[in-house]
Structure 1
Amino acid sequence: MAYSWDNRVAFVVRYLYDIDNNGYLDARDFHCLALRTCVLEGKGDCSSARLQKYQHVMLSLWEEIAQLADFDKDGMITVDEFKQAVMNSCVGRKYDDFPQAMKAFIETNFRMIDINSDGVIAIEEYRYDCVQRIVIEDIKIIDEAFYSLLNDDDRRKGGLTLSRYKELFAQFLGDHGDDCEAKHLFGPLDM
């Protein structure tokens, strides 16, 4: 049940977008997300130029999500509204067919996880990302989740490249089944 499509999409809302943890998405979440992204990618540095770039990316993402998901036009997007929007715009689609602002967010998220900026999310970076969001008692569980994502090419490269991350993210949202290959993209989910 933890890896059902419903739970995977709810995870995205709760742990990637709903920064203030109030149970719904609104413009404030994306303002905060811009600052968080700037600080994390800058490893503590938050230059005005980079912050402005992320404000543009995140507010564009908010506007796009609001157009796709704010069905009652109240300025707030519930988990159910977000699920419906993902169903309409992502399920059964490849990454290239995703909404543009969502693709920008996915690429930005990859850069935040890729702490050493070498173009590969290695196991240490994956672990770091996982423990920031979810409570886990045993490192082996995180490691097993990471290795379950890797194909032979990923193993040769030492982890997930941006192109592979985009492919897995598209599966995480777009594969309506409960046992998709990308189910561990954000770690061992327990919702």
Structure 2
Amino acid sequence: MPSLPTEATGDIDNNGYLDAHDFHCLALRSCVLEGKGDCSAARLQKYQHIMLSLWEEIAQLADFDKDGTITVEEFKQAVKNSCVGRKYEEFPQAMKAFIESNFRMIDINADGVIGIEEYRYDCVQRMVLEEIKVIDDAFNSLLNDDDRKKGGLTLARYQELFAQFLGDEKDDCQAALLFGPLEL
């Protein structure tokens, strides 16, 4: 499996491990992004419930030492145990919910397709890049003919690529570009 970027593990506060705090932050992020800046109390409460449930499921899968935190190594081992060699449909519900939440956060206009502009936006928020071409090349290398017809990545295609990324143990897995032009 390629090296996991922090967003693939959910460590959004970048402290080196996953814990309940990451999921509280993820709830707020999801609420604000879905609301295009608006954060209603009802939507925030919905996301807090979803993310707390997601944290509890992921902790059961990956917090092997039961210390309330999940290290990158624990997360990688849980992914290996739950995802390597499996199709998306066979993933644990927590992993599927996490992947679908990531898709919704990147799909800014909520049209069901991650287009090149949304992909660029996601990349530049997380990476320091000098040229747009490297982002565009990474995005275009992910697309098949059907994706090009649809204008980008649908949820089903994103799920397929995410499953390839998690389940492929080769260092040069093309699906790693789902997170941008990463060094492999």
TM-score of Structure 1 vs Structure 2, range by shorter chain: over 0.9
Q: Deviations over 1:144-178 (max 9, x none)?
A: 00000000000111100111011111111111112
In the other structure, the counterpart of 1:61 is 54
Structure 1's unaligned 5+ residue stretches are none
Query: How many Å apart are 1:180 and its aligned residue?
Result: 2.1
| Aligned equivalents of 1:24, 1:108: Cα separation in 2 | 19
How many residue pairs align between the two structures? 183
Query: How many Å apart are 1:140 and its aligned residue?
Result: 0.1
Q: Aligned to 2:177, what secondary structure does the other structure show? A: coil
After the TM superposition, which segments of 4 or more aligned residues of structure 1 sit over 3 Å from their partners?
Answer: none
In the other structure, the counterpart of 1:121 is 114
In structure 1, give the amino acid aligned to 2:7.
Y
Percent of paired sites with the same residue: 80
Q: 1:75 aligned to 68, 89, 104, which one?
A: 68
Query: How many Å apart are 1:118 and its aligned residue?
Result: 1.2
TM-score, structure 2 length as denominator? 0.95
Q: 2:33 aligned to 29, 34, 40, which one?
A: 40
Say which is worse superposed, 138-147 or 18-27, in terms of deviation: 18-27
* Residue 166, structure 1, aligned to residue 159, structure 2: yes
In the other structure, the counterpart of 1:84 is 77
In the other structure, the counterpart of 1:49 is 42
The two structures, once aligned, show a CA RMSD in angstroms of 1.3
Say which is worse superposed, 99-108 or 163-172, in terms of deviation: 99-108
Q: 1:183 aligned to 165, 176, 184, which one?
A: 176
Say which is worse superposed, 135-144 or 50-59, in terms of deviation: 50-59
Whether contact under 8 Å (2:2, 2:172) holds in the other structure is: no
TM-score, structure 1 length as denominator? 0.91
In structure 2, give the amino acid aligned to 1:29.
D
* Residue 15, structure 1, aligned to residue 33, structure 2: no
Whether contact under 8 Å (1:120, 1:158) holds in the other structure is: yes
In the other structure, the counterpart of 2:141 is 148
Structure 2's unaligned 5+ residue stretches are none
